[in-house]
Amino acid sequence: MKRDIPTPRFGTGNEPAAFLPPPPSRAKRNRNWEASQRSGDFVQVSYRHLPRDLRDAVTDIAQTRCVTSDEVARAFLEFALQAYQDGRLTLMPKLKTGRLTLFGENDQ
C-alpha cells in the first residue's frame, strides 16, 4: 500500500523558526571604558593623517611647557576657531581627486 506524503511548505512565514528570536550574542565585551569616555561635555577624538613634523612640533611645545600634547592641540584649535569666527582666518578648499581639501598637491 502506497501512502501519500505531504510535501512540506517552506517560506510561508508560518514555520516555527520564523517565530523564534535570534540566539543571544556570545560576545562578552566590557564597554565601561567607552561609556566613561563619552560622559560629560568632553569627547575624545583623534585626527589622522597628520604629518609627523606637525605632531613632533606639538609634542615639543607640550614638553617645553610641561603640559600634555592634548592641551596644546586644544589651545591651537580654540585659537584657530576664534580666528576663523572673527574672520582673521580664511579657509579656501580646493578640488582634489573628486573631493574638496584645504591642502594642495604639494602640501602634506
pLDDT digits (tens, 9 = 90+) for 12-27: 556 666 667 777 777 7
Give the closest residue to 47 by CA, choosing from 77, 7, 87, 23.
77
More confident site: 24 or 92: 92
Q: Which residues contact 94 (CB under 8 A, 6 or more apart)?
A: 100, 101, 102, 103, 104
pLDDT for the residue 68: 92
pTM: 0.55
Q: Say if 70 falls within a structural domain.
A: yes
pLDDT for the residue 32: 81
Count of domains for the chain: 1
Q: Say if 64 falls within a structural domain.
A: yes
pLDDT for the residue 30: 80
Q: Say if 17 falls within a structural domain.
A: no
Structural domain including 64 reads 49-89
What is the chain's mean pLDDT, rounded? Answer: 79
Query: Does 65 have pLDDT greater than 80?
Result: yes
- For residue 38 the three cell numbers come to 563619552
Q: Say if 74 falls within a structural domain.
A: yes
Q: Say if 100 falls within a structural domain.
A: no
